[in-house]
Amino acid sequence: MEAQYCGHVLLLPYPAQGHINPLLQFAKRLASKGVKATIATTTYTVKSIHAAAVTVEPISDGFDDGGFTQTQKVDVYLNSFEQNGSRTLSKVIAKYEDSPHPVDCVVYDSFFPWALDVARRHGVRGAAFFTNSATVCAVFAHIHCGALELPVEIEENGAAVVLPGIPPLYGPDIPSFITAPDSYPAYLAMKMRQFSNVGNADWIFANTFQELEPEVVAGVSKVWPAKLIGPMVPSSYLDGRIEGDKGYGASLWKPLGEECLNWLKSRPNQSVVYVSFGSMVSLSTKQMDEMARALIASELNFLWVVRESERSKLPQGFVESARGKGLVVSWCNQLEMLAHPAIGCFVTHCGWNSTLELLSLGVPTVAMPQWSDQFTDAKFIEEIWKVGVRPKLDKYGIVNREELVFCLKEVMEGEMSEEIKRNARKWRELAKGAVSEGGSSDKAINEFVEHLKCSKIGKQLKQIINE
C-alpha cells in the first residue's frame, strides 16, 4: 500500500561521494514513508544520481564543467558555491511554490549553512545534516562554544583531551584539523562554519544511531541537539523495508563489480582481506610499498582497491606476483564486497561512511586512519566498539610490513579474532535494529515525517479559514 503524502523535502548534499551517499539514502528513507524527496545537486554530479522515488534537480556551484576539479582550491570553490548555489537553490524552491507539492523543508549538508538562509527567504523550514560521527561533531561543537581552544595541544606527558560524554582523546585520536589548524585552514574553516547558525535550524540530523554513541550524544545535547537517523546504508543490507534498495544510487566512478564478485566466488568464507582507502585518501609511495609487501607476506587472499591515479605507487611487478592470491582493481562496489561471505577483514582509512558500513555488515577491521576525523573513528573501532585493531606507526609515521602482517593475522586468526568477530556481529544486529520498524533511528525519522504532515495539515486548515 502506498504511503500517504506527508510533504516535500529538498535535500542538498556537498558534491562528494561520502556526502551524496548518506543524504541520498535519507531521501530514499523519507520517500518510503510518503515524503516527496528531491535531491538538489551540482550540474556536474547530477547525471551520476539514479534512485527510484527520488527526484533530482540541478543547481550550480559555478564550475559546471568539472566541479571542484576546475579550481582545486577549497576556499575559492566554497565561495563560488555559496554565491551560485544560493541563487540556483532559490530557483529550485521557487519552481515548486505554485505546484501541488511545494517544498516544506530543506535538509542541507552542514557544510552549507547558507542554505538555511535561502530556505528562510522562501518561508521554508531548514534542517542541518551532519555526515560525521556524533563524537567528531561534538568535538567541533565544543570548540565552537569555547569549551575547547585551538590549536588543541598534544601534551608530551600523554595528557588527554576530556569532554563531556567522550572517552579521553589522546594525540593519535584527535582530528588532525584541530591539532594542526594551519595545515588545512580552508577545511577547518568549513568545519567550524557548520555551527555558525545551527542553533537557528528547525532540526539537526546526524548519520549515526543511539546505541552506537549514547554517552557522546547526551554530553553534547545542549549545544548540538541532533536527531540520530543512521546508519544511512541501503536497506537491503539492514532491514530490507525499501524494495530493491541494494545500492546508494549514486556513483562518481564506474565500479568493477562483476570482476570482483567472480573472483570472490572461488575463495573460502572469511578468507579474503579487502583493502580500500576510499575516494580521496592518497597513500605515500612508501606506505603503498609496505602494504603490498605485507599482503604478499601474510599469505592471505586479498582484494585491494587502488585508484588509477595511485597505481604508479605500487612496487614493480607486484600485480603479477600477486596473481592467484590477490586481485588489484581500480574500483568496486564496497557494500557488495563487505557483504560477501568470502570477506574476513576490511583494511580501511576509517572514513565515517566506511565505518558505518563495516559496523552494519559486521566485518572485522584493520583501522589505518590518514587524516581529519578518521583518527577518532579508528579509536572507537579499536577501543570502544572493539571490532578491529589499529596498527602502530613507526618513527617515520608509516605502518611497516611486519606490523601490518601482525594485525592482519590477529584479526583473521589470532587470539583476539573470535572476540572481534563476536563484537562485529553484535554491532551488525544493533545497526539493523536501529533502522528497523520501531528502532531508535526509525522513530526519529517518523517524528520528523509526522511533524511535516501536521505542518501541512495546519497550512491547509489556515488556507481554508482565510478563504
Beta-bridge partners for 343: 272
Distance in angstroms (rounded) separating the CA atoms of residues 110 and 121: 18
Set 19, 144, 340, 349: catalytic member: 19
How many other CB atoms are found less than 10 A from the CB of residue 394?
12
Residue showing cell 564543467: 65
- Please report, as a single letter, which amino acid is at residue 231: P
Distance in angstroms (rounded) separating the CA atoms of residues 125 and 235: 27
Set 61, 104, 109, 173: catalytic member: 109
Would you call 202 a catalytic residue per the annotation?
A: no
Give the angle 55-9-461 at the CA atoms, nearest 5°.
125
46-55: long-range pairs with CB below 8 Å, 24+: 48/250, 48/251, 48/252, 49/20, 49/24, 49/249, 49/250, 50/249, 50/250, 51/24, 51/27, 51/248, 51/249, 51/250, 52/244, 52/249, 53/28, 54/24, 54/27, 54/28, 54/249
Q: Hey, what's the cell of 462?
A: 489556515
- What three-state secondary structure class fits 186? helix
Distance in angstroms (rounded) separating the CA atoms of residues 408 and 294: 9
Count of alpha carbons within 13 angstroms of residue 127, beta-carbon side: 26
Beta-bridge partners for 227: 205
Measure the N-to-C terminal CA separation of the chain; round to a whole number of Å.
Answer: 34
Which residues touch 396 (CB under 8 Å, ≥6 apart)?
Answer: 286
185-193 vs 134-144: helix axis angle to the nearest 10?
90
Q: How far is CA 210 from CA 87, 117, 128, 132, in A?
A: 37, 30, 18, 14
Q: Which of 349, 432, 448 is nearest to 11 (CA)?
A: 448
Would you call 19 a catalytic residue per the annotation?
A: yes
DSSP 237-276: GTT--STT--S-SB-SS---HHHHHHHHHTS-TT-EEEEE
Q: Residue 166: enclosing H or E segment and its boundaries? A: strand 166-169
Residue showing cell 541501503: 234
**Which residues carry out catalysis?**
19, 109
